[in-house]
Amino acid sequence: MSTQAKSALVVSNWEETALTSVEGGPAMARATSDAVFTGDLNGKGTSTWLLVYPPEGVASFVGTQTFEGTVAGRAGAFVLQMAGTWDGAGAHVTWSVMPDSAGGDLRGIRGTGGYQSAADAPSAETLLDYELD
């Protein structure tokens, strides 16, 4: 049976670097960012992103985030695999805990979730449906 963790997420220190651009086609970029989680997930995250910006339409991205902190009072770290889109109004992100990526008291955690953030909002509410032995 899974447990649902809810937290506020604030992303900071976004640094983006252009990688490639095709005339009339998509542009690609790499970004890094930091995050602070408060709530059922309490701690910090460090992310690396690959982004694709089409000439028109919705941007897409994939990435990983290392979370370090506590979940339900258990301390440790794990890696989230993320995918999403940016439509100008905000980000729509899904994530899952990468298998065998956890350490500390979070070893063995499994789960999925994500968040949606508005472009003008300083934070987003995240969800993680998880199982932990």
Contact 124, 116 (CB under 8 A): yes
pLDDT per residue as tens digits for the range 10-65: 999 999 999 998 889 999 999 999 999 999 999 999 999 999 999 999 999 999 99
120 — pLDDT class (breaks 50, 70, 90) = confident
Write down the pLDDT at residue 97.
98
Write down the pLDDT at residue 80.
98
Mean pLDDT of 100-117: 97
Looking at the chain, which runs of residues are DSSP E strands?
A: 3-21, 27-39, 41-53, 59-71, 74-86, 90-97, 103-104, 110-118, 124-131
Write the DSSP string, 49-72: EEEEE-SSS-EEEEEEEEEEEEET
Considering its fold, how many domains does the chain have in total?
A: 1
Mean pLDDT rounded to a whole number for the chain: 95
Domain containing 77 — which CATH number? 2.40.350.10
Measured on CA atoms in the order 62, 30, 115, 5, is the torsion positive or negative?
Answer: positive
The structure's pTM equals: 0.93
Structural domain that includes position 99: 3-131
Q: Please state, for a pLDDT cut of 90, what percent of the chain lies above it.
A: 87
Write down the pLDDT at residue 42.
98
Q: Is the pLDDT of residue 102 over 90?
A: yes
